[in-house]
Amino acid sequence: MAVVELKGVAKNYGGAHKNAKAANAVENFNLTTRDGEFIVLVGPSGCGKSTTMRMIAGLEANTDGEIRIDGRDVSQVAARDRDIAMVFQSYALYPHMTVYDNMAFALSLKKVPKPEIEQRVNDAASILDITHLLDRKPRALSGGQRQRVALGRAIVRDPQVFLMDEPLSNLDAMLRVDMRAEIIKLHRKLGVTTFYVTHDQTEAMTMGERIVVMRDGHIQQIDTPNALYHAPNNVFVAGFIGTPSMNFLKMTLGGDGKTLTGQTARMVASSERQSIEAHKGRDLMVGVRPEHLVLTTDEAAANLIKGEIDVVEPLGSVTMVQLEVDGHRITAQLEGDTSVRMGDAIMLTCDSARLHLFDAETEQALPRHEHRTETA
């Protein structure tokens, strides 16, 4: 258990890359965990999340900044001396060793007495329900079982920090949901500070105590899942978190500081959450989540989006419809029993309090009054 601090951590691969942007894999990464916190790093591929994790592990050297574990700067410490356990995407089990030996390996290197190794391996195996597999070789295991062994190999060591690099991405969808719950349970039980890398925002939202959203090597936002959902810092985070993605419409804020007008859509902005005074007469990106759009027949509604349905996806509990509005693709999540068909002209409305307003140029959220993000 430990507090991990990252201060101005950067990774630059040097001039070997053709453009400078790609050479800077991670820039100015700042984060301080609480003891025993579960941090999820999420972002599209190539955003630097894995690189960040590998720098914490010591598999790659950080070219700038410092990494502290419980106050000790480990930037110059070799991976083997950092007391960090990592679960790899490919599991990276030792193929020539049995499950037992895989789990016991790190302990035997540390010259832990045999009875204690046995005790710890058996404990970990029973937590993960793999006791019956201890004599097998990895190749005789299924994907889910290998995953458990990989977790077991990490937990027997009782390390200061756990790192998990997309550990569930090689599992099928059902198993993934199960293992997700299991990893969370495991984390509660062990209380070890954990970094978890994923590109799946659902995984991030369900698992993370705090989530670090990254893009192109930069932190976009560090927040709790709720805060990311309700108060995204910018258009990228707003679009990345939540399924289906948030809808965006480019609209102009009227001189009254309230009315937003697009080509056909109209909205009334609420200044309750975000201060919009400074943006009178300017273009804004207006975001609204599909689940907050509802069908209406009131043509005089304050917030109104009109359009013709071109895709209907009935999912049973809900029905997704897509329409093209003012050159933007809009998705709405309607009640499951709504009877709509392709080609129907519909009107959608939403609560003004549900609108997210972003500066159209900088793509940053307009300043918020409340729900202030804790960090960032």
Partner 1 sequence: MSNDAVANAGDTASHQGAKRHGPPVKRLMAPAVLFLMVWMIVPLAMTVYYAFENYNLMMPTMRGFAGLGNFEILLTDGTFWAALGHTLTLVMACLAITVSLGLVLALLFNKTFLGRGVARTLAISPFFVMPVVTGLLFKNMLLHPVYGIVSWAMRTLGFEPIDWFAHYPMFSVILMISWEWTPFALLILLTGLQSLPEDQIEAVRLDGASRLQEFRHIVIPHLGQVLYVVVMLESIFFLTSFAEIYATTSGGPGTATTNLPYYIYQNAFFQYDIGLSSAAAIAAVILANIFAFFLIRFVAGNLNAGGQR
- Could you tell me the smallest distance in angstroms from the CB atom of residue 316 to partner 1? 40
In sequence order, the β-bridge partners of residue 266 are 261, 304
CA dihedral 18, 21, 22, 26 (to 10 degrees): 150
- The smaller minimum CB distance to partner 1, of residues 141 and 251, is found at 141
- Per DSSP, the chain holds a count of helices (H) and strands (E) of 9, 20
- Nearer to partner 1 by C-beta: 109 or 300? 109
Whole-angstrom distance, CA of residue 308 vs CA of residue 310: 6
Minimum gap (Å) between residue 155 Cβ and partner 1 = 13
Q: How far is the CB of 86 from partner 1 (least distance, A)?
A: 5
Residue at token pair 């290197």: 109
Interaction residues for partner 1, span 320-339 (CB under 8 A)? none
- Per the DSSP assignment, residues forming a β-bridge with 10 are 64
Could you give the string, one character per residue 149-188, with x where binding to partner 1 holds by CB under 8 A and - elsewhere? ----x---x-------------------------------
Q: How many residues bind partner 1 (CB under 8 A)?
A: 27
Kindly tell me which of 92 and 340 has the beta carbon lying closer to partner 1. Answer: 92
Scanning residues 77 to 116, which ones bind partner 1 (CB under 8 A)? 78-82, 84-86, 88-90, 92-97, 101, 105-106, 109-110
**Tokens, residue 241:** 């978190």
User: Shortest approach of partner 1 to residue 109 CB, angstroms?
Assistant: 5
> C-beta of 111: minimal distance to partner 1 in Å?
10
- Among 129, 8, 4, 112, smallest CA distance to 56 is for 4
At residue 186's C-alpha, the angle toward residues 183 and 187, to 5°, is 85
CB of 196 to partner 1, least distance (A): 16
**Between residues 96 and 189, which has the closer beta carbon with respect to partner 1?**
96
Q: What type of residue sits at position 322? A: Q
Q: Which residue has the tokens 């659902």?
A: 202
- Cβ proximity to partner 1, 79 vs 184, nearer residue: 79
Site for partner 1 in 41-80 (CB under 8 A): 57-59, 78-80
Q: How far is the CB of 106 from partner 1 (least distance, A)?
A: 4
The answer to whether the beta carbons of residues 303 and 349 sit under 8 Å apart is: yes
Task: Please identify, using beta-carbon distances, which residue of 81 and 298 lies nearer to partner 1.
Answer: 81
DSSP single-letter state for residue 264: S
Least CB distance to partner 1 at residue 83 (A): 8
Q: Based on CB atoms, which residue is closest to partner 1, 15 or 255?
A: 15
Q: Please give the backbone phi and psi of residue 369, each rounded to the nearest 5 degrees, phi first.
A: -85, -50
Contacts for 338 with CB less than 8 Å, ≥ 6 apart:
295, 319
State which residue, 76 or 90, has the beta carbon closest to partner 1: 90
Three-point CA angle 237, 243, 246, nearest 5° = 50
Compute CA distances 327 → 81, 129, 135, 164, whole Å. Answer: 55, 53, 61, 40
Q: Return all residues near 20 (Cβ < 8 A) that are at least 6 apart.
A: none
Name the residues that contact partner 1, by CB under 8 A: 57-59, 78-82, 84-86, 88-90, 92-97, 101, 105-106, 109-110, 153, 157
